[in-house]
Amino acid sequence: MGALMVIFSLQKDQRRKRTDSVEDELELSAVRHRPEGLEQLEALTRFNRKELQILYRGFKNECPSGVVNEDTFKDIYSQFFPQGDASKYAHFLFNAFDTNKDGSVSFEDFVMGLSILLRGSVQEKLNWAFNLYDINKDGYITKEEMLDIMKAIYDMMGKCTYPLVKDDTPRQHVELFFQKMDKNKDGVVTIDEFIDCCQNDENIMRSMQLFENVI
Amino acid sequence: MAAGVATWLPFARAAAVGWLPLAQKTMPKPPVDKKSRSDEILFVNVSGLRFQTWKNTLDRYPDTLLGSSEKEFFYNEETQEYFFDRDPEMFRHILNFFRTGKLHYPRHECIQAFEEELAFYGIIPEIIGDCCMEEYRDRKKENQERLAEDTEAENAGDAPLPPGATLRERLWRAFENPHTSTMALVFYYVTGFFIAVSVIANVVETVPCRPIKGSIKDLPCGEKFSVAFFCMDTACVLIFSFEYLMRLYAAPSRCDFARSVMSVIDVVAILPFYIGLVMPENEEVSGAFVTLRVFRVFRIFKFSRHSQGLRILGCTLQSCASELGFLLFSLTMAVIIFATVMFYAEKGTKGTNFTSIPASFWYTIVTMTTLGYGDMVPDSIAGKIFGSICSLSGVLVIALPVPVIVSNFSRIYHQNQRADKMRAQQKVRQARIRMAKKGATNAFLQHKEDGGLQDGDSGSTALCVKNRSAFEHQHHHLLHCLEKTTNHEFTDEVTYSEVCMTDSVGFRTSRSTSLSSQQGATTSCCSRRAKRRAIRLANSTVSVSRGSVQELDTLHITKTPAGTQYPQSRSSLNARTEDLKLNCDDYTAAIISIPTPPANTPDESLPNSPAIPGILRNSRSNTYNIQETVKISSL
């Protein structure tokens, strides 16, 4: 009797597996993405041909399907920050790169984001940063949004820091930020306030040149 | 850090722009990257098989050979490629690791070879991907076990005892390895015989014999011949006790020995007898005493010292303990379930056998193991239905753990077979290895004999000097340097043992040179120049007794120490033939060619016979009549 039961359950598993595999196949085929041609990308970004080739080879090696989904993105980014938890910040980054909001970062998204960050003008970079902080993309950075970002950044540090990260450290940092940026003290930072303020800050201006030669 | 992480680093750094507006302090300066950013294709030549890959691919893992500057050591300027003199098949897998980030283990390759390649290229085996990790670990464990067996077999108790072994150690060794000495073997068989006798006596005791005159009832033989059986039993117990005490005395660690399974069995086997001796002739106690006699049957387990198969079986059961436990547990569960069901099913039947649940246990067990004695049979329909279900499921429950036990047994059995084969072949292997090693030493010693170390004319060395490679030249030169450094010389073992033995004066005439040559005996002399004057080598009689034919091709020419006339005793054909003072007494002739022994050599001064190239005839003479020596060699 036990044998019969075992046989029945096996059959059920097999049937389930068959349907699963069909769905899996559909899913896989949907996720193969080919990027635009080299010329178009050259036009869209500020990389030259060789650089695009190098970038694509690396990208394709890591993501043979042509797109990065959020989990992979989080994994990759977490490898750089082993001490802390980089998943939240990676989530925000993902949203910043995924310009067309389709849940995956294709090579074009990737390379356009990189182009702005590495070869863009200061204005463009600041724009990008603002976009990152503005989680709901409504044009204003609220204190809550900033707090989320700040907490995410401090999470990346982990707990073994000196001095220790206290519970309200992110909040204090947010206050500092708003004191600096929020000129009209209305509790939100708009894009103009942000860009203005950053352009007047020498430190920020200087640091913008830091990552020019990354690629 | 893992693989492709290197690829994404530029991206991560770019994304750091997002922190810049929030920074409370100034950012540090970025590292200056002097490397050229452009990618290029590298050529890697592995034993003729050319691979090409992007430089970036290799740079992904900077802590490996290929990813670091270490590969520059292998760069070939003329061909503009990196050349590795390694296995090209294996390199494929290594390169795939760089490309895909996952290391796979090729199943058809030897695990040692694979690990060596990994070690060479600086890749740790722990990063083998999950798909291949299982296989890799299994193979590695198997390999390690095999190697452990090898070393174990080498260090097995077959090794000769150190000379200073105490009686205790010798005794223990005799017990553990009976085939090492005749006495031990005799003892081994005697105990085996007595175990058999004891067991048979126990069995025959209970067989009904013909009744003694005057009585009708059949008596068991034990009571008929009670005296005889008692004597036999006593003898056996005495022998077993003696053996146990001897073992206890000889054991290196008495506590461990007392706790080991075999000693427990020994004790249990002989205890009933002693208890019976001290027990009073009490009616009720003798009942218990009879039960104790059952333990005598444990003597049969003593056979496991004599039989390897029994030991394997015991080992198997030990290793399958968990499966056996599971079998027992599942059986118990099933028995309880079915017994309960049967009991309640048969409750209504009149005069049923199923009087209680424990009573139904018997029925369940008999049915599940498909024995079916038929002493308890269900009557009601429900009982019959459940009874049939019980018997069907019984087969399944028992059949499940059996393959596991069988496979365990077969694995251990094969392991044992392998170990035995290893041990048997080990001796041959060691002998061959020793010979190969000796070959090298012999070559050097012969080289010395041939006067190669002399600064004499090289032309005459051509005759008897065998062809030697550049390697051998340098090697011999090295050995010579060592000799000079320590002011001692290399000899061989036989000479050495001879020197140890015959440190006294005394020499004997050596007519038996021819004898020894006929036998092709292997002898050697001490070639210690320092002792040459002092020591007179034992003559050929000694060598004859030692006559063990070497299976080597090399001729082993040795020199005698009796250098009363000439300090150096190098008597080579090529060198000054006039000075051929006899120093060398013995020689070794290969079995290939038994040189014709001139029976009258010792006393005659033989003229050298350079006509026969490389043939040196050697004759022994005593140290006082130093005549010419002609060496015999076989080419």
Span B62-102, pLDDT tens digits: 888 888 888 888 888 899 999 999 999 999 999 999 988 88
Contact state of B18 with A208 under an 8 Å Cβ cutoff = no
Q: Is residue B138 part of a domain?
A: yes
Q: B411 and B331, same structural domain?
A: yes
Helices B182-205 and B226-250 cross at an angle (nearest 10°) of 140
B429: its two tokens = 């292997």
- CA-wise closest residue to B540 among B567, B570, B495, B510: B510
Question: What's the CA gap between B1 and A158, in Å, rounded?
Answer: 18
* CB burial of residue A43 (10 Å; 0-12, 13-18, 19+): exposed
Helices (H) and strands (E) in chain A, counts: 11, 4
Interface test with B, best of A53, A68, A80 (most B CBs within 10 A): A80
Q: Tell me whether residue B105 is in a domain.
A: yes
Provide the shortest C-alpha distance from residue A30 to chain B (in Å).
23
Verify whether the Cβ–Cβ distance B20 to A129 is below 8 Å: yes
User: What are B624's two structure tokens?
Assistant: 């006082």
**What pLDDT is stored for residue A31 in this prediction?**
57
Shared-domain flag, residues B257 and B217: yes
B281 and B376 co-located in one domain: no
Q: Is the pLDDT of residue B555 over 70?
A: no
**B539 in Cβ contact with B510 (< 8 Å):** yes
Assign B560 a pLDDT band (cuts: 50, 70, 90): very low
- B252 lies in the same domain as B206: yes
Whether residues B52 and B135 fall in one domain: yes
- Tell me how far apart the alpha carbons of residues B354 and B387 are, in angstroms, rounded to a whole number: 12
Judgement on whether residues B301 and B186 belong to the same structural domain of the protein: yes
Q: Indicate the number of domains in chain B.
A: 3
B349 and B420 assigned to the same domain: yes
Tokens of B274: 């002693």
pLDDT beyond 70 at A30: no
Sign of the CA dihedral with A189 first, then A190, A191, and A194 last:
negative
Residue B73 structure tokens: 């050591």
Confidence grade of residue A4 (pLDDT, cut at 50, 70, 90): low
Structure tokens at B121: 């290229």
Residues of the domain holding B415: 312-429
The last residue of one of the domains, among B278, B306, B334, is B306
What is the C-alpha to C-alpha distance for residues A51 and A36, in angstroms, rounded to an integer?
Answer: 15
Q: What is the CATH number of the domain that holds B348?
A: 1.10.287.70
My answer on whether B301 and B319 are in the same domain is no
Q: Is B486 exposed, middle or buried (0-12, 13-18, 19+ CB in 10 A)?
A: exposed
Q: What is d(CA B595, CA B555) in angstroms, rounded to the nearest whole number? A: 12
Strands B41-46 and A188-190: unpaired
Quote the mean pLDDT of chain B.
73
B333 and B217 both lie in a single domain: no
Tokens, residue B199: 């067991």
| Cβ neighbours of B233 (radius 10 Å) | 21
Q: How far is B479 from chain A (nearest CA, A)?
A: 57
Tens of pLDDT, residue by residue over A66-81, are: 888 888 888 888 888 8
CB B346 within 8 A of CB B383: yes
> Distance between CA atoms of B566 and B559, rounded to whole angstroms?
12
Q: Looking at beta carbons, which residues of chain A come within 8 Å of B8?
A: 58, 62, 76-77, 79-80
Residue type, B473: H
- The CATH number of whichever domain residue B258 belongs to comes to 1.20.120.350
Given a contact cutoff of 8 angstroms between Cβ atoms, the answer to whether B47 and B35 are in contact is: no
Q: How far apart are CA A11 and CA A23, in angstroms?
A: 19
**Does residue B343 surpass a pLDDT of 70?**
yes
Are B81 and B133 part of one and the same domain?
yes
Q: Which of residues B96, B124, B156 is at a domain's end?
A: B156
More confident residue, B623 or A50: A50
**Residue B88 sits in a domain of what CATH number?**
3.30.710.10
Check B39 against A173: CB less than 8 A apart: no
Instruction: Output B50 or B138, whichever has higher pLDDT.
Output: B50
pLDDT of residue A19: 54
Provide the shortest C-alpha distance from residue A76 to chain B (in Å).
7
Residue B383's pLDDT is what?
A: 92
Residue in chain A nearest B400 by alpha carbon: A3
* Assigned token pair, B236: 């056996």
User: What pLDDT sits at residue B635?
Assistant: 38
> At B353, which amino acid appears?
N
Residue appearing with tokens 């691919």? B57
Q: Is residue B12 part of a domain?
A: no
B534, pLDDT greater than 50 = no
Going B493 to B499 to B500 to B502, the CA torsion angle's sign is positive
How crowded is residue B383: how many other Cβ atoms within 10 Å of its Cβ? 23
Shortest distance, CA B29 to any CA of chain A (angstroms): 7
Instruction: Return the pLDDT at B381.
Output: 93
B562 and B583 Cβ atoms separated by less than 8 Å? yes
Q: Are strands A67-69 and B49-54 parallel, antiparallel or unpaired?
A: unpaired
> How does residue B466 score in pLDDT terms, banded at 50, 70 and 90?
low
Determine, yes or no, domain membership for B211: yes
- The dihedrals phi and psi of B82, each to the nearest 5 degrees, come to -90, 125
ipTM (interface predicted TM): 0.77
Domain end among B283, B306, B329 = B306
At residue B43, the 3 state secondary structure works out as strand
**Cα–Cα distance, B130 to B149 (Å, whole number):** 29
Query: Do the domain assignments include residue B609?
Result: no
Q: Give the pLDDT score at B432.
A: 87
The Cβ-side half-sphere exposure at A89, using a 13 Å CA radius, reads 24
Share above pLDDT 70 across residues of chain B, in percent, rounded to a whole number = 66
Mutate to test the interface with A, among B20, B40, B55, B392 (most CBs of A within 10 A): B20
Does residue B415 sit within a domain?
yes
Asked whether residue B388 is domain-assigned, the answer is yes
The verdict on B294 and B317 lying in the same domain is no
Residues B232 and B292 in one domain: yes
pLDDT at B366: 93
